[in-house]
Amino acid sequence: MVKLECFGQNAMQPVKILSLQRLSRGAAKKIEAVDARVQLTDAGGWFDGEIRETWPEFNTRRYMTADAQGHGSREERNRLLSDAEVVLGSWPYPLDLRQRAPALKWFHQLPAGASNLRMGDLWNSDVMVTTSRGVGSTLAIAEHALAGIMHFAKSFHQANFDRVAGEFDVAAYRPLLLDGKTACIVGAGGIGQDVGLLCAALGMRVLGIRRRQHGSAPLPEGFIRMGTAADLDGFLAQSDFVIVCAQWTPETTKLINKQRFAAMKDGATLVNIARGEIIDEDALLDALKADRLRGVALDVYVGEFEHLPPDTLWSDPRVLITPHTSGAADDNRHGGIDLFCENLRAYIDGRALQNVVDWQRGY
Query: Domain holding 82: CATH number?
Result: 3.40.50.720
CA-nearest of 236, 240, 223, 243 to 144 is 243
Q: Are residues 23 and 60 in the same domain?
A: yes
**Longest pairwise C-alpha distance within the chain:** 75
Read off the pLDDT of residues 52-111 as tens digits, 9 standing for 90 and up: 999 999 999 888 888 888 999 999 999 999 999 999 999 899 999 999 999 999 999 999
Has residue 70 been placed in a domain? Answer: yes
Q: Are residues 153 and 269 in the same domain?
A: yes
Name residue 269's beta-bridge partners: 241, 295
Whether 275 is catalytic is: yes
Given 85, 277, 281, 304, the catalytic residue: 304
Amino acid at 261: F
Q: Are residues 184 and 36 in the same domain?
A: no
Share of the chain above pLDDT 90, in %: 87
The average confidence (pLDDT) of the chain is: 94
| Model confidence, pTM | 0.91
Q: Are residues 59 and 170 in the same domain?
A: no
Q: Are residues 44 and 107 in the same domain?
A: yes
Amino acid at 224: I
pLDDT at 214: 73
Whether 304 is catalytic is: yes
94 lies in which domain range?
15-135+334-349
Please tell me whether residue 209 adopts helix, strand or coil conformation: strand
Which strands sit side by side in the sheet containing 182-186, from one edge to the other? 225-227, 205-209, 182-186, 241-244, 268-272, 293-298, 319-321
Q: Are residues 314 and 338 in the same domain?
A: no
Read off the pLDDT of residues 165-179 as tens digits, 9 standing for 90 and up: 999 999 999 999 999
CA-nearest of 75, 92, 106 to 7 is 106
Has residue 9 been placed in a domain? Answer: no
Determine what percent of the chain falls in helix, strand and coil, rounding each to the nearest 5.
35, 15, 50
Whether 324 is catalytic is: yes
Q: Are 144 and 299 in contact (CB under 8 A)?
A: yes
Given 210, 260, 324, 334, the catalytic residue: 324
Which strands sit side by side in the sheet containing 128-131, from one edge to the other? 38-42, 15-19, 86-89, 106-109, 128-131
Q: Are residues 146 and 265 in the same domain?
A: yes
Amino acid at 255: L
Read off the pLDDT of residues 76-89 as tens digits, 9 standing for 90 and up: 999 999 999 999 99
Q: Report the C-alpha dihedral over residues 285, 290, 291, 294, rounded to 10 degrees.
A: -50
Parallel, antiparallel, or unpaired for β 106-109 and 86-89? parallel
Number of compact structural domains in the chain: 2
Given 260, 275, 294, 334, the catalytic residue: 275
CA-nearest of 243, 359, 333 to 297 is 243
Distance CA 195, CA 213 (A): 19
